[in-house]
Structure 1
Amino acid sequence: MLIRWLLAAIHLLAYGFALVSILRRSVALRHCSTSAGLPAVFHADNGWAVSAVVLIVTGAMRAFGGYEKGADYYLHEPLFHLKMGALVLILLLEIAPMIGLIRWRIALKKGVEPDLGRARRYAGIGVVQLVLLVLMVFAATGMARGIGLPDNAV
């Protein structure tokens, strides 16, 4: 029981950290016109990466590790599919910013000024990711309350 509670708490906290990190990265990217603004972008990006890993690990443990209702429940829950669809979209959207920010980090290590021409595009991607993350929270809270299931399945 204690591990279930701790996993749920850590999972929920990771949503908050992810939301703040994506928002901070998007704001920093929107204002980033020179490499002087990149430390704030990288700091927020690191927070987003850590929170994403925590979300995925704790979520997988809760859904498939035998700590919660079990895989059969989640795999037959429509809101779980919505939540996982949103997660997949977030991760797919993350590919371009992730590659771009890796390139910027490499350029800085080589002493080269990175091309920040895509910074605003990456900020826009972050806004879409924020909306999807909020959708995930709504799906999760709906699942916790049996929304979307037949009355006899709760």
Structure 2
Amino acid sequence: MLVHWFLAAVHLLAFALGFWAVVTRGTAFRRLAAGTGEARSVLIADNLWGISAVILLITGGMRAFGGYEKGADYYLHQPLFHLKMALFVCILLLEVAPMVTLIKWRIALGRGAAIDTSRAKQFARISHAEALLVLLMVVAATGMARGVAFG
């Protein structure tokens, strides 16, 4: 029972960290676009966003399919789980361009080269949209936890 509680707590805390990190990354992108920020702030927030994503995947997978919660059958037949996974896929699709760009930034900065910040404002909007999707995932998760059913 303690493992169930621990996994649930870590999973929820990872949502909080992820939300904070992606909002912070968006704000750092916006500051960078305005000429008042620095790439380092974007990269630190992005690291935390990535760490939260890994924690969410591991704890979510264990909870849904590792026998620690209601079981795979429950989740696979729960519309809110499908909504949560659809939101997750949307986040992944939105994340492709910022992720590729930030990898290029890390390589360039490691070599002492300049980075192209021309898309920083666009990536700020993407980050804030992802934050909204994270909030919607939490809403779906709370519905699942309460056994909300449709149909």
Tell me the secondary structure at the aligned position of residue 113 of structure 1. coil
Please tell me whether residue 124 in structure 1 is matched to residue 125 in structure 2: yes
Cα distance in 2 between the residues matched to 1:3 and 1:149:
29
- Which residue of structure 2 aligns with residue 115 of structure 1? 116
Tell me the secondary structure at the aligned position of residue 32 of structure 2. coil
Matches within 5 A, 1:17-28: 17-28=17-28
How much does 1:148 deviate?
A: 2.2
RMSD: 1.4
Q: Deviations over 1:34-69 (max 9, x none)?
A: 6x7011111100000000000011000000000001
How much does 1:149 deviate?
A: 4.4
Cα distance in 2 between the residues matched to 1:39 and 1:68:
39
How high is the sequence identity, in percent, across the aligned residues? 54
Tell me the secondary structure at the aligned position of residue 32 of structure 1. helix
Gaps of 5+ in 2: none
How much does 1:107 deviate?
A: 1.0
Tell me the amino acid that sits aligned with residue 109 of structure 1. G
- Which residue of structure 2 aligns with residue 138 of structure 1? 139
- Which residue of structure 1 aligns with residue 15 of structure 2? 15
How much does 1:128 deviate?
A: 1.1
Cα distance in 2 between the residues matched to 1:148 and 1:67:
21
- Which residue of structure 2 aligns with residue 102 of structure 1? 103
- Which residue of structure 1 aligns with residue 43 of structure 2? 42
Cα distance in 1 between the residues matched to 2:24 and 2:129:
14
Cα distance in 1 between the residues matched to 2:108 and 2:12:
36
Gaps of 5+ in 1: none
How much does 1:127 deviate?
A: 1.2
TM-score normalised to the size of structure 1? 0.93
Cα distance in 2 between the residues matched to 1:134 and 1:109:
34
Q: Deviations over 1:5-60 (max 9, x none)?
A: 000000000000000000110000001146x7011111100000000000011000
Please tell me whether residue 148 in structure 1 is matched to residue 149 in structure 2: yes
Tell me the amino acid that sits aligned with residue 43 of structure 2. F
Cα distance in 2 between the residues matched to 1:78 and 1:37:
42
Cα distance in 2 between the residues matched to 1:108 and 1:87:
30
Tell me the amino acid that sits aligned with residue 51 of structure 2. V
Q: Following TM superposition, where does structure 1 have runs of at least 4 consecutive aligned residues deviating by more than 6 angstroms?
A: none
Q: How many residues align?
A: 150
Tell me the secondary structure at the aligned position of residue 27 of structure 2. helix
